[in-house]
Amino acid sequence: MSLFDTHQEDTDDEEENNVNEQEQTDSADVAFVAKLKSSRTLASILKTIDFADDAIFCALTTGVKIIVEDKQCVQGNAFIDTRVFDSYELVRQVRFRFHLETVLNCLNIFGVPLDPVTHEPLPTNVAVQIHYRENQTHPLQLYLEEDGVITECLIKVLDDTDTIDFDFQTENIVSKVVFKASGFKEALSEIDLKADCIELFITQDVPHFRLIANGCGGSTSVDITQDSPVMDTFLCTEPVHNRKEIDQKCLENLKTIVDVTSTRIVLSSSWRFFPKSRAKVESSFKQIGIDPLLGWTSSRGKTRVDEIYHWLKDFDNKTIHEDIFITKWIAIDDMDLFKLDAKRMQDHFVMTMPLNGITEETIKEAIMLLS
């Protein structure tokens, strides 16, 4: 054998070893692989919670959980059991944040064919395989196949963020109602959800479930009985009546805090996003003798704590007529801001309970922190 042939053989062996090493490296990076026969299944599920820019993807031993959260006051969860997938391999648990619209565009990259008469989506045979590879520039990889044509989508992921843990108690449940989504959506379209006050009734007697919206233009209501095709599950051990409005007792307790500590109020709850809600707060303050809002936080930042600190940083007393200098401040909220950021909320947070609001205990704690 010639020297050239020997060298060529050695080179071939070296290339083969490099390929094997690369395959082993790629295999080591793979943390999660799953396959669905229809990409539309995943796209349809994502569309149901498409109300924010980003989503959290969690690959668990039981399936995939996708979390969408908006302003840390609304959260949507979608869970896809492992049995839904045609194949599901989880090397280690995965959690990352991704841009929702980007993934939806990738899943629909072949388009959505519509029936020419009904304009309903037609069945497709686009399969999708999901890979998550660690230590990659584009760790999320989608492979879509239709009629032998394979499209590879390489997607960058975003830094993970904490989500609110809504600790719903499973004990002492007095009522539980489960609706079929499409029917309930149609029922809600009959009332004004932006009304000043929305009342919820759940009773053991007909109509069983009632929503009433009260606004300047009058009242609208929707009733859903237990035997309605819209209702899937109904449980009621005692009547429930909730009314979405400002509680007068809580307002009086807030005034006590303001009067004792000479503080001004900045709105940081989700009410700040709606002009009518802010106007209602201002009106309630005026009636009880609380100074107008000093302002409200923006949506800058990943958490409500970030939003508060952005407001504090941007605050400029020169923009208002009064000389206001911030020496001490607190946040009163039924969202656990201390859990979100214990360091920054230390000595700045008083937590309330959704059912009780601002109580006598809240007053004492708030005055202590502001004194």
How far is 234 from 22, CA to CA, in rounded Å?
A: 56
Same domain (yes/no): 194, 85: no
Indicate the residue among 244, 261, 289 that finishes a domain.
Answer: 244
| Range(s) of the domain holding residue 224 | 175-244
Residue 79 located in a structural domain: yes
Amino acid at 135: N
Predicted TM-score of the model (pTM): 0.54
Asked if the structure places residue 7 within a domain, the reply is: no
Each of the 371 residues of the chain gets a pLDDT tens digit; together they read: 333 343 444 545 554 554 444 444 456 688 999 999 999 889 989 998 988 889 999 999 999 999 998 766 788 999 999 999 999 999 999 999 999 999 999 998 887 777 777 767 676 789 999 999 988 888 999 999 988 889 999 999 988 887 877 666 667 788 889 988 888 888 888 887 666 677 888 888 888 998 888 766 667 888 999 999 889 899 888 888 776 667 788 899 999 999 999 999 999 887 777 677 788 889 899 999 999 999 898 878 878 899 899 998 888 655 555 677 888 999 999 888 888 889 999 999 999 886 678 999 999 999 999 98
CB 294, CB 265: distance < 8 Å? yes
Domain identity same for 355 and 259: yes
Among 244, 273, 288, the domain boundary falls at: 244
Beta-strand pair 140-146/127-133: antiparallel
Rounded Cα–Cα distance for residues 14 and 99 (Å) = 41
Q: How far apart are CA 131 and CA 141, in angstroms?
A: 5
What is d(CA 266, CA 293) in angstroms, rounded to the nearest whole number? 6
First vs last C-alpha separation in the chain: 93
Is residue 95 assigned to a domain? yes
Q: Are 35 and 141 in contact (CB under 8 A)?
A: no
Q: What is the dihedral of CA 94, 95, 97, 100, to 10 degrees?
A: 70
Task: Convert 348-369 to b/e letters by CB count within 10 Å (16 or more is b).
Answer: bbbbbeeeebbeeebbebbbeb
How many domains are there within the chain? 3
Residues in the chain: 371
CATH assignment at residue 31: 3.70.10.10
- 326: in domain: yes
**One domain, residues 203 and 188:** yes
Segment 246-285, tens digit of pLDDT: 778 889 999 999 999 999 999 988 777 767 778 888 989 9
Contact 135, 29 (CB under 8 A): yes
**238 and 266 co-located in one domain:** no
Residues 147 and 256 in one domain: no
12 in any annotated domain = no
In a domain, 20, yes or no: no
* 311 falls within a domain: yes
pLDDT, tens digit, 9 for 90 and up, residues 42-75: 998 999 898 888 999 999 999 999 999 876 678 8
